[in-house]
Structure 1
Amino acid sequence: MDIYKRKSRWKLYLGVAGALIVAISMVYTSYLTGKLAEEERSKVALYVEAQERFNNQLEMEAIQENGCPEPDFTLHLLILQSNNTIPVIAVNEQGRVDFTVNVRDTSQAYLLAELAQMDEEGFQPIQSSNHRIYYKESTLLQQLRYFPFVQLFLIAAFVAFGYLGFSSTRRAEQNRVWVGMAKETAHQLGTPISAIVAWIEHLKLIRDEDEEVQEVVTELRNDVSRLELIADRFSKIGSAPKLDPINVFEELEQCRAYMQRRASRKVAFQFPDPGSPPQTIHINSHLFDWVVENLLRNALDAMDGQGEISAEVYDDNDFVYIDITDTGKGIPDNRFKTVFQPGFTTKKRGWGLGLSLAKRIIEEYHNGKIFVKRSEEGVGTTFTIQLPKL
């Protein structure tokens, strides 16, 4: 299993764990709100009972007629005065509001609208002898009901900010590693390349009459020039390269010629005519060629030595587009973005850095984009390079 499959699985596991935590929190909060709602209904029922007894003049008169002392309503008053959080609306038998408690707006229009809404929601009022008692949830209970969503938002915000912070730090570390590796590679290549150049010149001088040796020397010098180009490419990683106006058709032709000499004869290259009307783009030719060669090399690997590689150039008002298409194995839909991540490879050998470098070169140094335009397994793949017109 490759690193990106493991990464996807860990994301899934963490997502499931997070969803489970939120679900447990919501269920438990719902349980608490249910208990609190029952408690509030009991309090309102007790409030109604206290109100009825306090207002029951017949009971008081009967007690006084029997010569009993005046009843003590201290507890009733305490119960009535203790409700300072639950909004209560008392409706008489004629359907009009007689009194309210803890209601911010006591106008009949507002109260009737509130009662209509509560009836529509299926609220069951508490019945007393002469009134129907409607009540709304206290502010505390409402806050508790919304608490899981607030908690979910805060957790999501914390995770998002943490992820962005760690991702930014990781990208910065990766960039430093990329730049360090690239420049160190260029530095390490420089010394042996200089020594090889000196030996080639020495061999050329001591065997200047031997045509076979001179031919070998020429090929060696070509290969050393290639090594010098590679070292130059690595040295440019991490620093802003100079961009020059280049005819894209001529640049693509150079890449095609170089790669076709190293490809199987069963692979056909269909590239635009270098003599086409010039289409100028601002690029660093060394780095741009590196990107194209990486795409062509991957295409050759995907076709197992036979097939067709084609290139197409087109533009619109703002951008120039370069499509490079092969008839290889193709890429699954869910891998379109993964292929540009460092370490991704489907080959048995290789580091999986080619497309990651290509993305960095196009996006960071040329202000463009590179992406998989389309791909179908067993049919082929098209990569698109998008560069701005300057």
Structure 2
Amino acid sequence: MNLYTNKSRWKWLLFSSATIIFILLMLYSNSLIKKIAEEERRKVNVWADAIVYKAELVNHTDLFFEQIRREEKKRASFLAQAIQKVSEAGLNEDITFYLDYISSNSTIPTLLVNQDGTIDCAVNIDLEYQKMQHIDEIKPFLDEYDSVRITYYKNQYMWVYFKESQIYTNLKLVIDNLVQSFFQEVVINESFIPVIITDSALTQVYDFGNIDTTQIETPGQCRQLADKMAKAHPPIKIQLPNRGTCYVFYEESGVLKRLRYFPYVQSLFIFFFIAIAYMIFNFGRKSEQDQVWVGMSKETAHQLGTPISALLAWHELIKDREELQDIMLEVKKDLSRLEMITQRFSKIGSIPELQEENVIPIIYDFIGYLQTRISSKVEIRIMNQSDEVILLPLNRYLFEWVIENICKNSVDAMDGAGVIIIEVIEEGNYVHIDLSDTGKGITSRNMKTIFKPGYTSKNRGWGLGLTLAKRIIETYHKGKLFVKSSIVDRGTTMRITLKKGD
């Protein structure tokens, strides 16, 4: 028992050490991952704050450009008024100021068109339009121009077409590029944050980044994704030129998500590694034990063979002496017993051959032999009739060894006084052999431990009897041996379960 207890303590010590190392590793990994995750979240927060700031910057720029546009429109309107003033001025009226203003125009696109549609003058317009002679040639683009009709003599009049200056057009391109640049900076971010920018109704996607396009093919999918993102982070509400209210939806980056699940994946891998290592260790240990069992059994059978042969020879020489007949009869039984033990050890060292046997007479024969060699205060009862026939594939020598080990343990547990009951029960395709005693019983904690090599509750012995019995039943006979029930100070029932032959 001390051997097994010490081994068990070492196993628990190693397991505890491995557990502590694993916990420390997990704590360090979690701490490191937590710091990385916090850094990722900080980047997300900085990115979100930057979106708001950039949106405000775009709006301020747009307001500034709008003021410039109004001023440019005023200039264009004033130019048209100056031209009209010049055309309506009297002979004695000073129009030098208006003429100077008209001649200084270098930015406002202006067309002077006669009443028949002929273009008399074109300034500050694109080169492709300057070659055109008639207003109909640029008719598709006239919607961009404001116009003023100027009568300069009786029924004679002309049209002045004008629009915002080229400066304003360039500024409009700048603001459009600025908005597009804002979108690009939002959706293409260093943190690989999934982003979608939608209108206020969540039906139109202006731009997106780090998102599978199949997730936003329809307005319904867009709204569903937006709702999912909104549960993780409130959307950022922004105002953008020419688009009005917009919403920026975002969620954690793929890196942050993977970091969150990393400890669990790491734990799973470590668990599988430990489990596989433990299985390999157990397999190696069991293989080594098997080799020890085989070697020990064969060597024992070999060592017993020589003295038994000599004893048999001496028995043959003196068996006919009349005064020794009774003694020689018992010697013959013990020699037969030694031969059977030799057979057991020789067979446990190799795969035994199983034969169809009637288990009832085997039990009766062995108990008849055992009863005379144990305390007379121990009664062994067999509940089955001796003429019953229950066939099982058995190796007789090894099966008797199992019965012997269990019965001897029962005798020891009863301190040499009590009752052992053996009952064979058929149940379908299986046969149960119950061996009950009135001994000390086994605690629930030790019900599996008793089958471990080296476990014993006695001061003498190696603790191998039940280990051998379990090996014979489960390894060689493909059955089961276990503690069916046990009550401390009242007794124990061991059960052997074997399958009938085909």
8 Å Cα contact 1:249-1:272 kept in structure 2: no
8 Å Cα contact 2:198-2:207 kept in structure 1: no
Runs of 4+ more than 6 Å apart: 63-67, 69-78
2:415 counterpart of 1:304: yes
The residue aligned with 1:124 is: 234
Q: 1:12 and 1:303, CA in 2 relative to 1: closer, same or farther beyond 3 A?
A: farther
Separation in structure 1 between the aligned mates of residue 372 and residue 222 of structure 2, nearest angstrom: 88
The residue aligned with 1:254 is: 365
2:386 counterpart of 1:275: yes
Secondary structure (helix, strand or coil) at the match of 2:493 reads strand
Q: 2:303 aligns with which of 174, 183, 188?
A: 188
Q: How does 1:305-344 map to 2 (within 5 A)?
A: 305-344=416-455
The residue aligned with 1:58 is: 63
Equivalent residue letter for 2:6: I
Secondary structure (helix, strand or coil) at the match of 1:128 reads strand
Secondary structure (helix, strand or coil) at the match of 2:374 reads coil
8 Å Cα contact 1:325-1:380 kept in structure 2: yes
The residue aligned with 1:42 is: 46
Separation in structure 2 between the aligned mates of residue 86 and residue 122 of structure 1, nearest angstrom: 13
Secondary structure (helix, strand or coil) at the match of 2:351 reads coil
Secondary structure (helix, strand or coil) at the match of 2:428 reads coil
Deviation at 1:47?
3.8
Secondary structure (helix, strand or coil) at the match of 2:357 reads strand
Task: Output one character per residue of 1:184-215: Cα deviation in whole Å (capped at 9) or x when no partner.
Answer: 0100111111122223333446xx24x1x333
Deviation at 1:262?
2.5
Secondary structure (helix, strand or coil) at the match of 1:348 reads coil
Deviation at 1:23?
4.5
Equivalent residue letter for 1:5: S
8 Å Cα contact 2:384-2:423 kept in structure 1: no
Q: 1:63 and 1:223, CA in 2 relative to 1: closer, same or farther beyond 3 A?
A: farther
Separation in structure 1 between the aligned mates of residue 222 and residue 202 of structure 2, nearest angstrom: 11
Secondary structure (helix, strand or coil) at the match of 1:264 reads coil
2:36 counterpart of 1:32: yes
The residue aligned with 1:236 is: 347
2:489 counterpart of 1:378: yes
TM-score by length of 1: 0.88
Equivalent residue letter for 1:58: L
Equivalent residue letter for 1:143: R
The residue aligned with 2:456 is: 345
Task: Output one character per residue of 1:247-303: Cα deviation in whole Å (capped at 9) or x when no partner.
Answer: 222111123222322332332222124424311111011100000110111111111
Equivalent residue letter for 1:288: F
Separation in structure 1 between the aligned mates of residue 45 and residue 317 of structure 2, nearest angstrom: 102
Deviation at 1:34?
2.9
8 Å Cα contact 1:324-1:384 kept in structure 2: yes
Q: 1:92 and 1:20, CA in 2 relative to 1: closer, same or farther beyond 3 A?
A: same
Separation in structure 2 between the aligned mates of residue 272 and residue 242 of structure 1, nearest angstrom: 29
The residue aligned with 2:294 is: 179
8 Å Cα contact 1:87-1:100 kept in structure 2: no
Separation in structure 2 between the aligned mates of residue 166 and residue 5 of structure 1, nearest angstrom: 15
How large is the RMSD of aligned CA atoms in angstroms? 2.9
Separation in structure 1 between the aligned mates of residue 439 and residue 39 of structure 2, nearest angstrom: 64
Separation in structure 2 between the aligned mates of residue 123 and residue 196 of structure 1, nearest angstrom: 93
Q: 1:14 and 1:378, CA in 2 relative to 1: closer, same or farther beyond 3 A?
A: farther
2:189 counterpart of 1:83: yes
Equivalent residue letter for 1:368: G
Deviation at 1:29?
2.1
Separation in structure 1 between the aligned mates of residue 485 and residue 14 of structure 2, nearest angstrom: 28
Q: 1:239 and 1:63, CA in 2 relative to 1: closer, same or farther beyond 3 A?
A: farther
Secondary structure (helix, strand or coil) at the match of 1:239 reads coil
Task: Output one character per residue of 1:10-56: Cα deviation in whole Å (capped at 9) or x when no partner.
Answer: 43443454345334433442342233122223223324433543464
Deviation at 1:91?
4.6
Q: 1:33 and 1:313, CA in 2 relative to 1: closer, same or farther beyond 3 A?
A: same
Q: 2:470 aligns with which of 354, 359, 379?
A: 359
Q: 1:268 and 1:188, CA in 2 relative to 1: closer, same or farther beyond 3 A?
A: same
Equivalent residue letter for 2:264: F
Equivalent residue letter for 1:360: R
Deviation at 1:168?
1.3
Q: 1:97 and 1:258, CA in 2 relative to 1: closer, same or farther beyond 3 A?
A: farther
8 Å Cα contact 1:281-1:389 kept in structure 2: yes
Equivalent residue letter for 1:366: H
Q: 1:78 and 1:279, CA in 2 relative to 1: closer, same or farther beyond 3 A?
A: closer
Task: Output one character per residue of 1:321-378: Cα deviation in whole Å (capped at 9) or x when no partner.
Answer: 1011112122222322222221122222111111111111111211211111122222
Flag structure 2 segments of 5+ consecutive residues without an equivalent: 73-166, 240-244
8 Å Cα contact 1:4-1:344 kept in structure 2: no
8 Å Cα contact 2:384-2:424 kept in structure 1: no
Task: Output one character per residue of 1:47-78: Cα deviation in whole Å (capped at 9) or x when no partner.
Answer: 443354346411445689899x9899799688
Secondary structure (helix, strand or coil) at the match of 2:271 reads helix
Equivalent residue letter for 1:193: I
8 Å Cα contact 1:45-1:126 kept in structure 2: no
Q: 1:59 and 1:28, CA in 2 relative to 1: closer, same or farther beyond 3 A?
A: same
Secondary structure (helix, strand or coil) at the match of 2:291 reads helix
The residue aligned with 1:3 is: 6
Equivalent residue letter for 2:206: F
Deviates more, 1:157-166 or 1:175-184: 157-166
Equivalent residue letter for 2:273: F
2:143 counterpart of 1:143: no
TM-score by length of 2: 0.69
8 Å Cα contact 2:187-2:194 kept in structure 1: no
Q: Sequence identity of aligned pairs in percent?
A: 39
The residue aligned with 2:145 is: none
The residue aligned with 1:266 is: 377
Flag structure 1 segments of 5+ consecutive residues without an equivalent: none
Deviates more, 1:248-257 or 1:86-95: 86-95
Q: How does 1:148-167 map to 2 (within 5 A)?
A: 148-167=263-282
Q: 1:357 and 1:63, CA in 2 relative to 1: closer, same or farther beyond 3 A?
A: farther
